[in-house]
Amino acid sequence: MQRKDDKAYGVSPTYFLILLFLPNLEYFYKTFLILQITLSQVATLEMRRKIRKTGIDINSEGKRTKEALEESERYRILIENTSDIVYSLDSEGNFTYIGPQVKQYGFEPEEVISQNFLNFVHPKDREGMHLQFQKTITSGSEFISRFRIRNKKGRMYWIEELGKVQHDKSGGVIGINGVLRDITERRRVDEKLQRVNKELEKRVQERTAEISKANEALQVEITERKHAEDALKESYEKLRSALEGTIHALASTVEKRDPYTAGHQQRVTTLACAIATEMGLPEEKVDGIRMIGVIHDLGKIYVPAEILSKPGQLNEVEFKMIRSHAKVGYDILKKVEFPWPIAQVIVQHHERIDGSGYPSGLSGENILLEAKIIGVADVFEAISSHRPYRPALGIDKAIEEISQKKGTLYDPEVVDACLRLFTVKGFTIEC
Ligand SMILES: [Fe+2]
């Protein structure tokens, strides 16, 4: 069946069957009965539906209300147990809600509600916070701000605020909800850290300045020392040049008195320097040997020229005079300060490592290396060259002499270096 309001209602088929099987009843009665039955059925159905619907509505509403209450309670517990303060402002900046934590600043929530938030902001931050509020309300965005407040007794605290603009369903601004957090202690620690940092930075700058100053002074000192060293080096070079000139003058004097040994000292020098270099001696030692070599027979200026150039056999006195040249050379130069041990090498150049040499019969390590080198070069040159009393014996004879007496008269390392020069490296000596 269907009502005028187009709502359909069901009628049980049992009632229609009764009607069909009662043909003797009057038409009106039938119509009434049908109407009664129908109305009754409709009323019953409607009532049942209403009851059922009401029952459902009551149950659903109750459940939703219960859930909402539970949720609200959960939020309340959360809000009241956090250390931050939850708040709500209306669009004018007046508190519509403030969490109970506001009590820690001496205010009851009730006395804060309805007051404008700027009343609690420190006067120095008030203008800035007012502008911030206006801007937030206009732009409708989230914001974070830091500002100072004063508690009821006027003490100052630093607050960090995180807020968000709230809108109604039509998009209009209702106000701001947010959270306030006390950052006073954090600010105090930050400020202390900043002070410590500044102090450290200041000390680093001071220390850097000191180091820079010391560095500059050091640079000046290094420059001055370099100049002094250069001056000393120049002075040394001049002195060395003067000494070399003196030594060469002495060498010329000896050689002019003794034409038969002319060039002997120079050739000994050349060979001795080659041996020293072959042995790997430092340049300074090689330079010393070069200076000593050219005057190693300086003492011969005290030996009469006739004896020096005597072609025949020398008698014992003459031989003794010639042998005195080592000591005489030493006596001439012993008080002159050279950068090399010239006098000592001169007096030792006829000493032999087995102690058979003259004038002191020194042996082994008591003989200076320079003297051992000049000694070997002197013998080698004397044998291989022409002498007043005999013709040149040649290099082979000289090699034979130093090879045979290696380790007895002559230092083995010096001999080996000399032999390498002539037998391996093709060194030649002008005879
Ligand atoms: Fe000599």
For residue 207, report the distance from its CA to the centre of ligand 1, in Å.
Answer: 67
Distance 171 CA to ligand 1 centre (A): 122
- Using DSSP's 3-state secondary structure scheme, residue 333 falls into helix
Q: What φ, ψ does residue 169 adopt, rounded to 5°?
A: -60, -30
- Distance in Å, CA 161 to ligand 1 centroid: 105
Residue 325 CA to ligand 1 center (angstroms) comes to: 7
Report CA(427)–ligand 1 centroid distance (Å).
23
Two tokens at 366? Answer: 């008591």
Provide the residue ranges of all domains of the chain, joining segments of one domain with +.
13-79, 82-182, 185-237, 258-423
**What is the chain's length?**
431
CB 256, CB 301: distance < 8 Å: no
Contact of 327 with 359, CB cutoff 8 Å: yes
Looking at residue 219, its pLDDT comes to: 95
Ligand 1 center to 378 CA (angstroms): 7
Residues of the chain with pLDDT under 50: 1-44, 47, 51, 56
Residues with C-beta atoms within 5 A of ion ligand 1 = 297
CA of 232 to the centre of ligand 1 (A): 35
326 CA from centroid of ligand 1 (Å): 6
Cα(273) to centroid(ligand 1), Å: 16
Residue 393 CA to ligand 1 center (angstroms) comes to 18
Tokens of residue 116, six digits = 């404008």
152: helix, strand or coil: coil
Can you give the pLDDT at residue 37?
A: 40
The first and second tokens of residue 94, run together, are 């007046």
Which pLDDT does position 48 carry in this prediction? 52
First vs last C-alpha separation in the chain: 156
Please state whether beta strands 173-182 and 85-90 pair in parallel, antiparallel, or not at all (unpaired).
antiparallel
Report the pLDDT value the prediction gives residue 52, as an integer from 0 to 100.
55
The CATH architecture annotation of domain 258-423 reads Orthogonal Bundle (1.10)
Q: What is the pLDDT of residue 203?
A: 95
C-alpha closest to that of 121 among 84, 89, 147: 147
Distance 25 CA to ligand 1 centre (A): 180
Q: What is the third-level CATH fold of 82-182?
A: Beta-Lactamase (3.30.450)
Whole-number Å distance, alpha carbon 118 to ligand 1 midpoint, is 114
| pLDDT tens per residue across span 259-300 | 666 588 889 999 999 999 999 999 999 999 999 999 999 898
Side chain identity at 421, as an amino acid letter?
A: L
Q: Name the helix (H) or strand (E) containing 163.
A: strand 156-167
- 424 CA distance to ligand 1 middle (Å): 28
State the distance from the centre of ligand 1 to the C-alpha of 296, rounded, in angstroms.
Answer: 6
Give me ligand 1 centre to Cα 410, in Å.
15
Please tell me the number of Cα atoms within 13 Å of 351 on its side-chain side: 24
Q: How far is the CA of 295 from the centre of ligand 1 (A)?
A: 9
CB 89 within 8 A of CB 117: yes
Question: How many Cβ atoms are within 10 Å of 413's Cβ, its own excluded?
Answer: 15
Q: 352 CA to middle of ligand 1, Å?
A: 13
Q: Residue 359, preceding bond cis, omega within 30 degrees?
A: yes
Structure-block tokens of residue 321: 């005079």
Rounded distance from Cα 233 to ligand 1 centre (Å): 33
